[in-house]
Amino acid sequence: MNNNIVTIGSQFPEFKKKAVVSIEKGKEFQDVSNETFKGQWAVMFWWPKDFTFVCPTEIAEFNKNYSNFTDRDTVLLGASTDSEFVHAAWRRDHSDLRDLKFPMIADTSKSLAAALNILTDDDEKIAYRATFIIDPEGIVRWININDLSVGRNVAEVLRVLDALQTDELCPCNWTKGEETLSNKLAAEVA
């Protein structure tokens, strides 16, 4: 286990990784780093392995919601410990993944997953289903980690992103457009 656990309020670790950004021959790969989202909100989500069953449902759902992230001025990034070549093969092979609008980061050294402390404790050392919301200063503002067998809820990621972007007090089950506690308290004081 990593003793320097990345948690809420931590600076997101520095990284530079290869990523699959296209299935067009000669344009498949690109470097992705902290510079990719510097000064912007970012959501980085991890899945355990390519060519599995739960993972493509999540990746496809994030892709369906891609414009919901860009409308919030948020960079969307996907990642696993598989290589960029496996990512590219999976994208070509799986119809739901061919037209992804966000990069698939290849953390083949597992260094970023280790820095985030999201690797399983078994011999395989694959990433849990982890999601990080990072603010424009590079600070981790939300972390969600699911067990390997349970897919995440993309609508909840968007709900939390909306709440964080208000920079106000948001009650339980708050959704965008509803009154925040900060506004309610200000109205009561006035």
> Tokens 């990593």, residue?
2
Active site residues: 55
Whole-angstrom Cα distance, residue 106 to residue 2?
Answer: 20
Q: Could you tell me where the beta strands, DSSP code E, fall in 57-121?
A: 74-80, 104-106
Do the bridges between strand 129-134 and strand 104-106 make them parallel or antiparallel, or are there none, so unpaired? unpaired
The b-or-e profile of 104-127 (16+ CB within 10 A means b, else e) is bbbbeeeebbbbbbbbeeeeeebb
* Cβ pair 127, 118 in contact under 8 A: yes
Q: Counting beta carbons within 10 angstroms of the beta carbon of residue 12, is it exposed (0 to 12), middle (13 to 18) or buried (19 or more)?
A: buried
